[in-house]
Structure 1
Amino acid sequence: MTGTTEPVLLHTRGRTARITLNRPQVLNALNHEMVRRIDAALTGWEHDPDVEAVVVTGAGERGLCAGGDIRAVHDDARDGDGAASAAFWRDEYHLNARIARYPKPYVAVMDGIVMGGGVGVSAHGSVRIVTERSRIAMPETGIGFVPDIGGTHLLARAPGGTGTLLGLTGAHIGAGDALFCGLADHYVPSAALPALLDDLAGMPVPDALARHTRPAPPGELAGRRHWIDTCCAADSVEEILRRLYAHADPDAKEAADTLLAKSPTALKVTLAALRRARRLATLEQVLDQEYRVSCAALALPDLVEGVRAQVVDKDRAPRWSPATLAEVTEADVERFFTPLGGRELGLAGPGTGPHTTG
């Protein structure tokens, strides 16, 4: 194992190789160096016959990963030309796609907080474990950004309107709801994780899981489908809000109040991205789309303002521009999806555009 100051710890034990995200002071937030190190490690282990599975965990007590290093993105967008952020996202999204296609079991331990980029290094894996401590979210609209790292791919495939609600509100969900939405596969009590990791080192992944998997505590989303599906089926954020406020369930009104605090531009672009992601056949096509959206966000004021309000100054009082949904035009939204020419991410390959799956 490398020294404890390394941002990613890598070691092998028995059948497994282990990745530990190791920036607990910032809840293991991902930076470009970490993405590169994880990718290089996956390359080596893919061809190592002694490694039968890869296990990903987070250092510290609070969680796996709070997301990408948004303060660095903020500084780059405010003071630079955005090139560093675009380069980070390029490698991060390639890593997300690689995790989804990794030829060996990729076991993500989604204990504690898992947000944004943390979802990207876990929820695309083939074995995704949640615990009673899991708090999973894609909270980007609250910082003037849009769910990325393949998040719109995952959310667009959640049951009914649940993915739309989660993408727009940025709500945190627990283990039961993560399983219901398809963001996780197995529930293991957090106290059993050390024993599970020991067993993974000594036996095949299915056998280790069989020893420790338990029924998850019930979630909340399934019981709220009566209003979530109806309200979130609308094709505009304004209509979703109208339906939420009109519904008798107080949870619907609470969701509407949450939406009103988010970036109007980010809300409209997120809804468009989710609807378009439903029509794209592969994760790679969605990541290509998300890269266009992310790069466009760098040039507009809400991302810098949102991170300032939530992370830098922490006044929780962002001044969005435009300030209202009515001021965000269809043209404003459409420019987020404009092809980038020679700067495209290109994961889906040349000549592959939107593909309707029916």
Structure 2
Amino acid sequence: MEKRVMTDEVLFEERVTASGQKLGLIVLNVEKTLNSLTLNMVEKMQVTLQDWRERSDIACVFIRGAGEKALCAGGDVQALYRSSVEQPGGPCEYAETFFETEYRVDYLLSQFGKPVIVWGHGIVMGGGLGVFSAGSYRIVTEKSRLAMPEITIGLYPDVGGSYFLNRTPGNSGAFLALTGASFNASDALYLGLAEGFIASQYLDEVMQALMAEAWSTSVGDNHERVFELMRGFVQRSVDDRPAGNVEAASAEIDALFKQDDDVALINAIIAHQSDNPWMQKASATLAAGSPLSARLIIEQLRRCASLSLREAFAAELVLSTNIIRRPEFAEGVRALLIDKDKNPKWQHGSAADVSDADIAAHFVGPWEVNPLHNL
């Protein structure tokens, strides 16, 4: 028997495997918005994942996006925009509840215990990268396009980005955070953000193999089974891997980070002249992005460098809440997605115009107790 519960935006299915245990399948199911996450989606994911984690008959979880274009393009920023402009100064109830629940889901996935396989096909950005990065076996394909492009809308890389971008080689994570540069499957492997490259044509075969697996009652054994099962598909996919960009540009990136202060670093990246088109686009994105976000990104990564993942999520909730209550984010979304004039009126003309006091204010929680204190 298969148990299936459906909603408009996210599908949950329990598939009985050859061993009698079940595979829990989650499909993000909003193709028209590239499977962007809503509060309804993350609330339902939280409830189902908590149930699956405790049940002995669920052997592993598989997460993918509906359609061929995306795992998930991020959070539904238009809904967050409405929450921000309708309740200026806050509390912005929808947005703040969304951030808290989204971070709880990502942390739950990262601490799930049982194998969590995430199929990172197509666009994997923002909140989508939060779900993806939390998996225990993260699959990238020839169509994977990953990024944390929040600099373009006055936000910053959250959903655990404060943690995982601090653990990439050299200065690559900070560079990706500041520039919103997209990266592909080979880059994700280099950055330590994926376990295996599997050509997208093998999705059905991967699912069949998971269903045919003789799952153990031991969680550790099941993790080994997933890695062994995926190894064959990885070997068959070697010839489909694209050339990466990040490792090839690593020396160029690291040279840019030899600056005396944050403003000098931002200005150096903006002014950088490169023969590499990928680097050129990265510089241009930072130049057009929010100067406030650029300063906040550097400070957030600095503050979270030695924090645990749990502590990083709590720190992110402080910064996200403060940002959503202020006008920069709403203006960024307005320019990119609402009016689509692509001409945001940022609060500051340059990174140098952002005061230290303004930055510091963003890192003071607006509540007596952080809602994620019990994460």
- TM-score (structure 1 length as normaliser): 0.92
Task: Give the 3 Å change call, closer, same or farther, for CA 22–233 of structure 1 in structure 2.
Answer: farther
Identify which of 259, 263, 273 aligns with 2:290: 263
User: 1:137 Cα deviation (Å)?
Assistant: 0.6
Identify which of 15, 33, 38 aligns with 1:26: 33
Counterpart for residue 164 of structure 1:
174
Task: Give the 3 Å change call, closer, same or farther, for CA 246–41 of structure 1 in structure 2.
Answer: closer
- How many Å separate the matches in 2 of 1:59 and 1:332? 41
Q: Which ranges in structure 1 are unaligned for 5 or more consecutive residues?
A: 350-358
SS in 1 for 2:63: strand
Aligned partner letter, 2:358: D
Q: Which moved more, 1:233-242 or 1:14-23?
A: 233-242
User: 1:260 Cα deviation (Å)?
Assistant: 1.1
Answering whether residue 230 of structure 2 is matched by residue 209 of structure 1, we say: yes
Q: Which ranges in structure 2 are unaligned for 5 or more consecutive residues?
A: 214-224
SS in 2 for 1:49: coil
Residue deviations 1:155-208 (CA, integer Å, cap 9, x gap): 111111110110011111100001111211110001111111111122142332
User: 1:270 Cα deviation (Å)?
Assistant: 0.5
Identify which of 236, 241, 248 aligns with 1:223: 248
Runs of 4+ in 1 over 4 A off after TM superposition: 245-248
Identify which of 32, 47, 53 aligns with 1:46: 53
Task: Give the 3 Å change call, closer, same or farther, for CA 148–174 of structure 1 in structure 2.
Answer: same
- How many Å separate the matches in 2 of 1:130 and 1:256? 26
1:285-304 alignment runs, 5 A limit: 285-304=311-330
1:1-358 alignment runs, 5 A limit: 1-3=4-6, 6-13=8-15, 14=17, 15-80=22-87, 81=90, 82-203=92-213, 204-214=225-235, 215=238, 216-234=241-259, 236-244=261-269, 249-251=274-276, 252=279, 254-280=281-307, 282-347=308-373
Number of matched residues?
347
SS in 2 for 1:346: coil
User: 1:255 Cα deviation (Å)?
Assistant: 3.2
User: 1:345 Cα deviation (Å)?
Assistant: 3.1
User: 1:343 Cα deviation (Å)?
Assistant: 4.4
User: 1:235 Cα deviation (Å)?
Assistant: 5.9
Aligned partner letter, 1:16: L
- How many Å separate the matches in 2 of 1:267 and 1:242? 10
- How many Å separate the matches in 1 of 2:190 and 2:371? 31
Contact 1:100-1:125 at 8 Å conserved across structures: yes
SS in 1 for 2:68: coil
SS in 2 for 1:338: coil
- TM-score (structure 2 length as normaliser): 0.88
User: 1:256 Cα deviation (Å)?
Assistant: 2.8
- How many Å separate the matches in 2 of 1:206 and 1:258? 37
Residue deviations 1:10-68 (CA, integer Å, cap 9, x gap): 11122411000011111111011111111111122112222110000100121100100
User: 1:6 Cα deviation (Å)?
Assistant: 2.0
Identity value in percent: 34
- How many Å separate the matches in 2 of 1:127 and 1:30? 21
- How many Å separate the matches in 1 of 2:365 and 2:334? 29
Contact 2:141-2:197 at 8 Å conserved across structures: yes
SS in 2 for 1:108: strand
- How many Å separate the matches in 2 of 1:315 and 1:244? 25
Contact 1:9-1:21 at 8 Å conserved across structures: yes
User: 1:348 Cα deviation (Å)?
Assistant: 6.7
SS in 1 for 2:13: strand
SS in 2 for 1:249: coil
Q: Which moved more, 1:211-220 or 1:90-99?
A: 211-220
Aligned partner letter, 1:219: G
User: 1:98 Cα deviation (Å)?
Assistant: 0.9
Contact 1:56-1:109 at 8 Å conserved across structures: yes
Q: Which moved more, 1:212-221 or 1:47-56?
A: 212-221
User: 1:243 Cα deviation (Å)?
Assistant: 3.4
